[in-house]
């Protein structure tokens, strides 16, 4: 039990405990007591100082004329704003008669960490002859820093693939970008384009596609054929 009341204070304010742990997006409660110590009849409003207003609320439970039990509800949101850490605050009792703080007590809300990671490719499909680089954004929507490991493999084992960097340290609410570099092992001189599928292991798995283009287009052999035909069709002197 914790209390803070000055000598000859008009009210006694106390909590059954001075610490509460809560998951972001969840609910934790503290119970307490407010008692009038003055001969002058008075009532009090309880307010929380040090926390965003929507995160805490006080409701009466039961009581008598000079003594009232109450419940303090702590409800930090499931957002990055509710960082995983201790949040000290003060509960104050404000007199209806004078408008002054009649009593106060200190307490701490401990917000527990939660993980919410998102991965998103800038472009899922790219094409080229010698290779391409894909960009993968990793976004930490949780309330604590997180380490993310990435890996990538090709479905046909026809490309060299490198993830840079393979591990990312992402602060709460932050966005970090990794690069996936894809290079075909064989040169495609002629023929139809070849599509290589790349599977990226990430918080949200990504499927990429690299379309390998031939260095010489079909028009080049066709033009050579037309040239040969034209030469053979030319009358000899």
Q: What is the per-residue pLDDT for 190?
A: 87
Query: 2-112 and 117-212: same fold?
Result: yes
CATH of the domain spanning 2-112: 2.60.40.10
Q: State phi, psi for 20 to the nearest 5 degrees.
A: -140, 130
Q: What is the per-residue pLDDT for 233?
A: 61
Q: What is the per-residue pLDDT for 66?
A: 81
Distance CA 193, CA 195 (A): 7
> Which residues does residue 31 pair with via DSSP β-bridges, in sequence order?
71
Q: What is the per-residue pLDDT for 96?
A: 86
- What are the distances in angstroms from CA 183 to CA 126, 153, 160, 216, 218? 12, 12, 5, 18, 23
**HEC profile for 125-141?**
EEEECCCEEEEEEEEEC
DSSP-based three-state secondary structure for 168 = strand
CB 138 within 8 A of CB 170: yes
Q: What is the per-residue pLDDT for 234?
A: 55
Sign of the dihedral defined by the CA atoms of residues 211, 216, 222, 225, in that order: negative
Contacts for 65 with CB less than 8 Å, ≥ 6 apart: 41
CATH of the domain spanning 117-212: 2.60.40.2310
**What ranges do the domains of the chain cover?**
2-112, 117-212
Q: How many CB atoms lie within 10 A of CB 112?
A: 16
> How far from chain centre, in Å, is Cα 176?
12
pTM, to two decimals: 0.78
Query: Which regions of the chain are under pLDDT 70?
Result: 1-8, 62-65, 218-237
Q: What is the per-residue pLDDT for 4?
A: 52
């Amino acid at each position: 039990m914790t209390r803070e009341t000055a000598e000859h204070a008009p009210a006694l304010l106390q909590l059954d405990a001075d610490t509460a742990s809560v998951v972001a997006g969840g609910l934790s409660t503290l119970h307490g007591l407010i008692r009038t110590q003055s001969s002058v009849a008075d009532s009090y409003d309880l307010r929380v100082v040090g926390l965003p207003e929507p995160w805490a609320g006080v409701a009466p439970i039961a009581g008598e004329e000079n003594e009232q039990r109450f419940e303090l509800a702590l409800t930090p949101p499931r957002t990055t704003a509710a960082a995983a850490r201790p949040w000290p605050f003060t509960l104050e009792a404000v007199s209806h008669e004078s408008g002054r703080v009649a009593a106060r007590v200190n307490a701490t809300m401990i917000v527990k960490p939660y993980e919410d990671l998102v991965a998103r490719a800038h472009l899922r499909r790219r094409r080229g002859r010698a290779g391409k680089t894909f960009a993968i954004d990793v976004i930490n929507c949780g309330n604590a820093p997180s380490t993310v490991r990435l890996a990538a493999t090709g479905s046909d084992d026809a490309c060299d693939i490198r993830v840079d960097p393979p591990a990312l340290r992402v602060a709460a609410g932050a966005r970090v970008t990794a690069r996936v570099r894809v290079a075909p092992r064989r040169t495609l001189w002629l023929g139809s384009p070849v599509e290589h599928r790349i599977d990226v292991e990430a918080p949200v798995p990504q499927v990429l596609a690299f379309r390998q283009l031939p260095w010489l287009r079909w028009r080049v052999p066709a033009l050579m054929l037309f040239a040969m035909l034209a030469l053979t069709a030319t009358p000899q002197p």
